[in-house]
Amino acid sequence: MEQYKKEFIEFMVDCQVLKFGDFVTKSGRKTPFFVNTGFYRTGQQLRKLGEFYSKAITQVFGKDFNILFGPAYKGIPLSVATSMALSEHFDMDVNYCANRKEVKDHGDTGILLGSPINDGDKIVIIEDVTTAGTSIEETMPILKKQGDVDVLGLVVSVDRMERGKGEKSALSEIQEKYSIKTTAIVTMAEVVEHLHNKPYKGEVIINDRIKEAIDAYYVQYGVK
């Protein structure tokens, strides 16, 4: 596993973004682990987060895109922080763009925040996590409505590695349905590999009991 992935897993633990217990996802699944990017709250945390995303994005998409789109609401700070990191570490001047939940009819009108989207733009979508692909179904029509754009793909922080609406993983379904690339900074398999029965700052984050709960979850919701 690459060093930046290990550092990102520990970063999530430090920021209390990665939690283990009893949770319910947006798609209604009861899950023993949860990733809440709303816990990235400080300027320093967002700066580091942008750096991790920028590494994952450039590995898969290279430098040939000009807009980073963050779906409202959690995608907004992600797109801003990562566009800044791309500028600082990869010498890329990428526009950030996000959508509003409601169309604004006065002042800066329309549904978009940040950069406008025009014909020929090459776009990478940035999200926190995706469980069943619900968010991307709302995002793609917004982007396609703006003009003849090329949506290259989607990057998330953690690939939960579970089924979407069919038998394949949510990221695989998105990849096939929209003919785009998908990637993540880390997968849940990498998280488990790095944290299971390995003390971090004097604490075992994933012990055997939690590992058993994760395994049971994947028996039910994992990719066949």
Residue 170, marked binder: no
Residue, of 90 and 137, whose pLDDT is higher: 90
Rounded to whole angstroms, the Cα distance separating 159 from 176 reads 16
Rounded to whole angstroms, the Cα distance separating 60 from 163 reads 22
Active site residue 106: yes
Tokens of 65: 């895109």
Query: What was the pLDDT predicted at 86?
Result: 98
Query: What was the pLDDT predicted at 133?
Result: 67
Radius of gyration of the chain, Cα coordinates, nearest whole angstrom: 18
Q: Give the range among 9-13, 104-108, 197-201 with minimum mean pLDDT.
A: 104-108
Residue 128, marked binder: yes
66 neighbors 122 (Cβ within 8 angstroms): yes
Rounded to whole angstroms, the Cα distance separating 24 from 1 reads 29
Helix H or strand E segment including 99 = strand 95-104
Place of tokens 């949770």: 23
Confidence of residue 37 (pLDDT cuts 50, 70, 90): confident
Tokens of 75: 């995608």
Residues 172-200 have a mean pLDDT of 95
Confidence of residue 104 (pLDDT cuts 50, 70, 90): low
Rounded to whole angstroms, the Cα distance separating 224 from 215 reads 13
Tokens of 72: 């409202």
Give the chain's mean pLDDT. Answer: 91
50 neighbors 68 (Cβ within 8 angstroms): no
- Please give the angle made by the CA atoms of 17, 23 and 29, to the nearest 5 degrees: 120
Active site residue 211: no
What CATH number is associated with residue 95?
3.40.50.2020
Name the catalytic one among 30, 63, 89, 104: 104
Would you give the distance in Å from CA 127 to the centre of its chain?
A: 4
Place of tokens 């090329």: 150
CA 220, 31, 44, 189 torsion-angle sign:
negative
Number of domains in the chain: 1
Nearest to 128 by CA among 162, 93, 160: 160
74 neighbors 37 (Cβ within 8 angstroms): yes
For the chain, the first-to-last Cα distance in angstroms comes to: 24
Residue 41, marked binder: no
pLDDT digits (tens, 9 = 90+) for 149-183: 999 999 999 999 988 888 888 899 999 999 999 99
Domain boundaries, position 177: 3-221
Residue 176, marked binder: no
Query: What was the pLDDT predicted at 43?
Result: 96
Whether residue 107 is predicted with pLDDT greater than 50 in this model: the reply is no
